[in-house]
Amino acid sequence: MIDCLMLGQTNVGKTLLSLQLSKHAGNTSPFVVQQLPTGEIRERFFVSTKEAIKTLVSDRRSTTLGLQTLGASVGTLLSSRLLLRDSTGLCSQAVEDKMVRLGMARTLEALVKTDMVLLVVDGSRIQAGYLLDEVDEWALRFAAMRKIQRAVVVNKLDLPGVKRMSDGLKKLWRHEQIFATSALHEQGLGPVFQFLQRKGE
């Protein structure tokens, strides 16, 4: 069993991406275990991915509080399973809401323990000069320091200018695994899934 943490800032599309990835793995009726920041554990079963997206995903920031675990079986054997762990988005600024802060603390805690990290970045928010946000940069450094498997997913490929930005990033960081996806339109999920499959076996 391998834990894979979806990490990133608020509103970059971590929840949607993890639901779509689990759908791509053939898991059309997702089973979600939510660990709320208060410590409460809630299990939710959805009939279809569409329904799950309707309930779990919104335009507001910090819709996901605490950790959301999704099972996605990758690889040829049933025994090699991968848990996609969706997390509360981090942000560089100070946060006033206590619940959100607790959720973020859970994210950091999960980052300390996880076996694998998918850093999700909003492609339309990358600044000129291909500088990542402070929090993303430190998360990536931390993952490199722990020597765990990591990949960067540039999401929101459907927005204008993101394709060019992700191509630039790929050229700049040859030593990092970089994928470009659009979780909304289910584009570019294949390579990410293959990456998970390779490492998950």
Partner 1 sequence: MPEKSIIEPILSNFEHGQITAPMALKKLHQAYQKSDRVQDHGTSDAPCGLTNREQVLAPLNRLVGLSTVKRMAEEMYAHAVVQRRRREFGLQADKTVTHMVFTGRPGTGKTLVARTLGSIFAELGVLSKGTLVEVERADLVGEYVGQTAQKTKACLDRASGGVLFIDEAYALARGGARDFGREAVDTLVKGMEDKRDNLIVILAGYESEMQDFLDLNPGLRSRFPITVAFPDYSERELLSIAKAMVSERDYVLTPKAINVFLTILRHERVEPSFGNGRTVRNIIESAIRRQALRLSNHLEATRNDLMELCERDFSGGDVHDRLPHARPNERW
Q: Where do contacts with partner 1 occur on this chain (CB under 8 A)?
A: 90-96, 98, 101-102, 104-105, 108-109, 111-112, 128-131, 134-135, 137-146, 150, 172-173, 175-176
**Residues near 198 by beta carbon (within 8 Å), at least 6 away in sequence:** none
Q: 1 or 172: whose CB is closer to partner 1?
A: 172
**Looking at beta carbons only, is 109 or 201 nearer to partner 1?**
109
Q: How far is the CB of 154 from partner 1 (least distance, A)?
A: 16
Using the minimum distance from each CB to partner 1, give the nearer residue, 36 or 95.
95
Burial of 104 (0-12, 13-18, 19+ CB in 10 A): buried
Q: What three-state secondary structure class fits 8?
A: strand
Residue 190: strand, helix, or coil:
helix
- Structure tokens, 158: 């459907």
Which residue, 150 or 199, has its beta carbon nearer to partner 1?
A: 150
Query: Closest distance between partner 1 and the C-beta of residue 59, in Å?
Result: 19
Nearest distance from C-beta of residue 72 to partner 1, angstroms: 26
Rounded to 10°, the helix 49-56/14-24 angle is 170
Identify which of residues 111 and 180 has a Cβ nearer to partner 1 in the complex. Answer: 111
The token duo for 90 is: 């981090």
Contact 117, 149 (CB under 8 A): yes
| Alpha helix (H) residue ranges in the chain | 14-24, 49-56, 98-113, 134-146, 162-172, 189-200
Residue 57 CB, shortest distance to partner 1, in Å, is 22
- Minimum gap (Å) between residue 158 Cβ and partner 1: 23
Shortest reach from residue 142's CB to partner 1, in Å: 5
Q: Which is nearer to partner 1, 137 or 167 (CB)?
A: 137
- Least Cα distance to 34 among 82, 1, 66, 72 occurs for 66
